[in-house]
Structure 1
């Protein structure tokens, strides 16, 4: 006589969730728990205990065997499956993590080669970011490539109000760490004047224009063939990845730079 178990009652919800997050399917958990409770058994007994069809149980047991959580004893038709100690579960996951880490290291090594053949020139991209987290993700994209220059227009006061001065200062620090300089035209608000005190340390060259005439509530960053427009007040951003558009915006920026510099001389 076979006794069916209810996995939901055998396992605490936290335990079931942990196994699911570790990559096990519902059926794998049911069969694994059934076999743990039985210790060992033939497929029919395990299937009925787990309330899963015999055919499916064969497949699941094969998966668990490959993971080292189940071993096979004897031959058909008296072949039995034996549950390994639960300690084997930790060993299996540790081995999986090691394999994934090795794969990650190998992928990091080949990323430059993949980028060399990655064709983005003919495929313009547009990305939309929304909310505070979205604004932060948009800003982080400007740090994706080191040793470059960002051309920008905007003002620090609205940035501080939107994402916080603390986050903004941390963003400046990361930018400097990656040796990314910024050349910009900024409205002379209180935040900008405060930021300007550290222009040299933060690799920043800015021309400040009168805030009453040229207040930039939308910030524009031009970098790496991308144009990023950020609305600090409406809390959304649009990033266009296109060499043609970026080149055009760079020319517009350079014209504005000449005009702002001439304004500063008057």
Structure 2
């Protein structure tokens, strides 16, 4: 590829568009068949490409004695078109910046409401790549929201996926003798010190922290941020050390 063709390609022209535009510059003005011959493409293809260049602003149409001819625009038009593109991007740059979201620089946050929202958040925890979940869990509030049947199904899916759970619960919120500390369920359970009552459930995994509120506030949330996850995991580890193993 020649330097000129490469430059036109970088500008955004296709291979055929570049060849036809160069043919136009060389011929000055010409009929479609002459342009096709110079660009070494079919006449029908040349017509399509000429119309594309016309739409871009690099070709115009004129008539000589009733014959349709095409005229190539000055190469300075490329500069004008480039300036127009830059202005278009500049005008939407603030909106693009607001969408700029790269892991490690800006956290991602997703908010959900209602029962389906809780289930969406729970479903995301099953995508954990490390196969390790760390949770602070409120049994009473989970039974009041998604219910025991859903949780039983979720637990089976977690076990089938080989995902281990380290969980801290409040004995005050454990209203039923279920979900014990048991290797069979890939679950390690500890009870928080007296006085620790958790109104919501939190899962820590990969670079995420998921939250599920009580029925009163009715929301679920997934926060994807390495720094936030690291902070919550450090706090979890402190509480885990201070919590008692289940009997």
Into which bin does the TM-score normalised by the smaller protein fall?
0.5 to 0.7
Is residue 165 from structure 1 mapped to residue 137 from structure 2 by the alignment? no
Cα distance in 2, alignment partners of residues 171 and 232 from structure 1: 18
| Aligned mate of 1:213, from 195, 200, 205 | 195
Cα distance in 2, alignment partners of residues 166 and 200 from structure 1: 21
Is residue 128 from structure 1 mapped to residue 111 from structure 2 by the alignment? yes
Deviation, structure 1 residue 174:
0.6
Deviation, structure 1 residue 147:
5.0
Is residue 242 from structure 1 mapped to residue 225 from structure 2 by the alignment? yes
- 1:253 maps to 236
- Greater length-normalized contact order (CA 8 Å, ≥ 6 residues apart): 2
Cα distance in 2, alignment partners of residues 190 and 124 from structure 1: 33
The SS at the match of 2:105 is coil
Deviation, structure 1 residue 146:
4.7
Structure 2: gaps (5+ residues): 1-100
The SS at the match of 2:203 is strand
Deviation, structure 1 residue 196:
1.2
Are 2:192 and 2:242, in contact at CA under 8 Å, matched by a contact in 1? no
After superposition, the C-alpha distances for 1:64-110 in whole angstroms (9 at most, x for unaligned) are xxxxxxxxxxxxxxxxxxxxxxxxxxxxxxxxxxxxxxxxxxxxxxx
Are 1:126 and 1:238, in contact at CA under 8 Å, matched by a contact in 2? yes
Deviation, structure 1 residue 215:
2.2
Is residue 202 from structure 1 mapped to residue 189 from structure 2 by the alignment? no
The SS at the match of 2:197 is coil
Cα distance in 2, alignment partners of residues 185 and 150 from structure 1: 11
Cα distance in 2, alignment partners of residues 192 and 259 from structure 1: 23
Cα distance in 1, alignment partners of residues 185 and 218 from structure 2: 25
Q: Greater Rg, structure 1 or structure 2?
A: 2
The SS at the match of 1:196 is coil
Are 2:128 and 2:205, in contact at CA under 8 Å, matched by a contact in 1? no
Deviation, structure 1 residue 228:
1.0
Are 1:155 and 1:192, in contact at CA under 8 Å, matched by a contact in 2? no
- 2:5 maps to none
User: What are the residue-to-residue correspondences of 1:87-98 with 2, within 5 Å?
Assistant: none
Cα distance in 2, alignment partners of residues 143 and 253 from structure 1: 20
Cα distance in 2, alignment partners of residues 132 and 146 from structure 1: 25
Cα distance in 2, alignment partners of residues 191 and 173 from structure 1: 21
After superposition, the C-alpha distances for 1:22-56 in whole angstroms (9 at most, x for unaligned) are xxxxxxxxxxxxxxxxxxxxxxxxxxxxxxxxxxx
Residues 244 and 146 (structure 1), Cα distance of their counterparts in 2 relative to 1, 3 Å cut: closer
What is the RMSD of the two structures over their aligned residues, measured on CA atoms? 2.3
Structure 1: gaps (5+ residues): 1-117
- 2:209 maps to 227
Deviation, structure 1 residue 191:
4.0
Deviation, structure 1 residue 172:
0.6
| Aligned mate of 1:151, from 126, 134, 144 | 134
Are 1:146 and 1:179, in contact at CA under 8 Å, matched by a contact in 2? no
